[in-house]
Structure 1
């Protein structure tokens, strides 16, 4: 990636810092013994160069890059007098902030990224500005401020998809970097929408990104984006679409033969196989994903993958379950997640799965204790993890014969699914509420729950 072109010598550099854009342009042109006609061209006529030098108007980003290239300096230097050394410092600070975020130092990383975002020089460094904005959004997500992260990611994605960004990238020969940034931003936005239960918004972001990026060719990152979209289809309960899409995704991952892509595709495709009851395929895909993940240096992803595979085995294959194996997987995953400073919702989900395992072992009291502690001590639960918590508590209360509390928990799950617009799953959840009411001898409330189920099904 090109960060900045060569600047003038240090002595001359001093002479243009603190001046206006026009004054810097004129000074640099004269230092290079260039005339206005030599500096101008078809895309920037002579009269426009003169107008910029007189400060009659400011150049836009594309014009600034053209002029900077002809003057053999960086756009940041021409636009604001920012030197190569200052630009290098900004990149170094960004590198350190990203490293802190990866290490789980969320507050430290977020504060530094916020300070970087306020640097005026970023206006002339669009690739670095997007990096800083993306990192800041990830810090907000990790700090459980997903609404703010979503708002920031939306703004970033709109800018990264603009003609202005594409033009600037073409002039700087950074189209590949821009595309990777664009895919990463869309992936994070799709994931955040899904995490807060806005499943339909997640699907829309993922589908629009895939439609935009697929014609340019598949990459590791694009497969990861598509796998995130597949997760949104799973949360929406769209069996037909998720089945077809999982097959297509595996084919693309196998075609590009990248371990990272194959892990991403196999991960959620194994979940689809679990849901469809194809346990042999689910086992094959999950083992394949974990085997390849072990070759990649990413403990957080390894922990999430291990937890995810154990969770779906618990939910969709309880009859053939190797309880001790699942216990080992979840215990290992919990250690990996906590060591990697995973998001609290990931850790909560892992603990809820351990509570589910207690229930399967015939220990409902222990399951309830673990489940309630997870809910009380964890972050405010929303989206998929909230549904998971409420449905599990409903099952535990039912096993304990505490029907009223089971109804209340299952009702919360159904309402959360409605809020998520996962209407097929919401309909199933309301049917479960109706069954609980019928078992308690309360047919009127059961009929009301069935009407809610029918309304969701119709929508």
Structure 2
């Protein structure tokens, strides 16, 4: 038995050894195309399907899973493995149900390791499914448990996931608080760099960029690259390059941003994580779009490729991010109607929890509506986006949104509201100009 084989490869090998075609193995209960997807690793078989396949192949289900039969813990290991595969294949709902089923079968007192693994899996499934509030609640409980049971609940992966959730929810302060506290503990212990430590740094880089603190983001990005080189893990180095490129991009240094993100693409292209590669292509397309020599046509080709991949292995949230990027590209190409379609579809998929990304979609929507001459809709979308960004503490982004709204209000002849919007912009940038000191920063009626 080859331990490195996946379930799909084992099914293919045993089917061929039995002299069966895919149609033979499918029988009446399954389709040939489904067997093909299983063997390609694009679908995850349930325990019932595995039992049926094992019967037809004349083997034990353990021959397909690669997990030896025996103890109850071994059975749970397989079920946890199935749940993880479902999550990696872009099916967070199936993953959530699988992890929940495992947790129902065990007690925290008798099998705490299995229970906590299922709990962490459910939190990640909720996150990938866009149910961020629920995910954050579970992760906060796990973070508390990690202090009392560090042997059962891994601290860093929990913090990283929690930090991601709070970033998307727009609670940047809590994200930074949790991550910085853990980072300080890590540094006080003077531990050697690790892959998960690099991931924590990379995650924190993203949060500081959202808040507009590009100096701290740049410092942490360089630290992540240095540590990734020490641990000699290509994936960690690729993630570090990825985040550093975004920092360079936000700072207006598109040449270095392109160099770094192309290094990241080269690393990820050698791996088998198609979902991560597609998400990286989204970032690459944005750098191409906003570079000094913008390439919107090339960016659209990259995003089309990314979207096709994410429809196979990504979640609805992954697809929404890609559509958001496509909306920006279509706007740059002068296709405002297409931009509106993409932005609206992205908003539908994001739901109510992904506040930061939803805010950015409202701004793209506003720009597209303005391009079509719909000033009233553009004004409303700009104001909504600006308010959402400000509520999320993304002050720098909010400042630009308020400034854009002010321009729209001027075009609409609403001079008093335009001055108000300009003042909001100045306030978000942290300035307190003399002429604003005694002004009441409320919306004029």
For the superposition of Structure 1 and Structure 2, which TM-score range results when normalised by the shorter chain?
A: 0.7 to 0.9
Matching of residue 343 in structure 1 with residue 318 in structure 2: no
Deviates more, 1:431-440 or 1:297-306: 431-440
> Who is 2:172 aligned against?
199
Matching of residue 251 in structure 1 with residue 237 in structure 2: no
Q: Using the alignment, how far apart are the partners of 2:107 and 2:353 within structure 1? A: 39
Matching of residue 372 in structure 1 with residue 344 in structure 2: yes
For structure 2, list consecutive stretches of 5 or more residues without a partner in the other structure: 1-69, 432-445
Corresponding residue SS for 2:420: helix
Q: Using the alignment, how far apart are the partners of 2:344 and 2:396 within structure 1? A: 27
Preserved contact between residue 190 and residue 202 of structure 1 (Cα < 8 Å): yes
Matching of residue 415 in structure 1 with residue 387 in structure 2: yes
Q: Using the alignment, how far apart are the partners of 2:213 and 2:356 within structure 1? A: 15
Aligned counterpart in structure 2 of residue 141 of structure 1, from 118, 122, 127: 127
> Who is 2:414 aligned against?
442
Aligned counterpart in structure 2 of residue 289 of structure 1, from 264, 267, 273: 264
> Who is 1:384 aligned against?
356
> Who is 1:239 aligned against?
214
Preserved contact between residue 345 and residue 385 of structure 1 (Cα < 8 Å): no
Q: Using the alignment, how far apart are the partners of 1:373 and 1:96 within structure 2? A: 31
Shift of 1:436: 1.8
Preserved contact between residue 113 and residue 132 of structure 1 (Cα < 8 Å): yes
Shift of 1:228: 0.9
Shift of 1:234: 0.9
Aligned counterpart in structure 2 of residue 221 of structure 1, from 196, 199, 220: 196
Q: Deviations over 1:53-93 (max 9, x none)?
A: xxxxxxxxxxxxxxxxxxxxxxxxxxxxxxx8222222222
Preserved contact between residue 288 and residue 296 of structure 2 (Cα < 8 Å): no
Aligned counterpart in structure 2 of residue 310 of structure 1, from 263, 271, 285: 285
> Who is 1:273 aligned against?
248
Shift of 1:376: 4.5
Q: Using the alignment, how far apart are the partners of 1:361 and 1:388 within structure 2? A: 18
Shift of 1:354: 1.6
Matching of residue 402 in structure 1 with residue 358 in structure 2: no
Q: Using the alignment, how far apart are the partners of 2:252 and 2:93 within structure 1? A: 42
| Residues 377/213 of structure 1: CA separation in 2 closer, same or farther (3 Å cut) | closer
- 1:415-434 counterparts in 2 under 5 A? 415-434=387-406
> Who is 1:72 aligned against?
none
Shift of 1:224: 1.3
Aligned counterpart in structure 1 of residue 182 of structure 2, from 209, 213, 223: 209
Q: Using the alignment, how far apart are the partners of 2:254 and 2:94 within structure 1? A: 44
Q: Using the alignment, how far apart are the partners of 1:435 and 1:152 within structure 2? A: 43
> Who is 1:99 aligned against?
85
TM-score by length of 2: 0.76
Q: Using the alignment, how far apart are the partners of 2:108 and 2:278 within structure 1? A: 36
For structure 1, list consecutive stretches of 5 or more residues without a partner in the other structure: 1-83, 170-177
Q: Using the alignment, how far apart are the partners of 1:451 and 1:211 within structure 2? A: 37
Structure 1 residue ranges (4+ consecutive) displaced by more than 6 angstroms after TM superposition:
none
TM-score by length of 1: 0.74
Corresponding residue SS for 1:320: coil
Shift of 1:219: 1.1
Shift of 1:152: 0.3
Q: Using the alignment, how far apart are the partners of 1:155 and 1:445 within structure 2? A: 45
Preserved contact between residue 345 and residue 381 of structure 1 (Cα < 8 Å): no
> Who is 1:324 aligned against?
297
Q: Using the alignment, how far apart are the partners of 2:195 and 2:349 within structure 1? A: 37
Name the larger-Rg structure. Answer: 1
Preserved contact between residue 172 and residue 392 of structure 2 (Cα < 8 Å): yes
Q: Deviations over 1:406-443 (max 9, x none)?
A: 11111111111122122232223222211221232211
Shift of 1:115: 2.7
Q: Using the alignment, how far apart are the partners of 2:343 and 2:262 within structure 1? A: 28
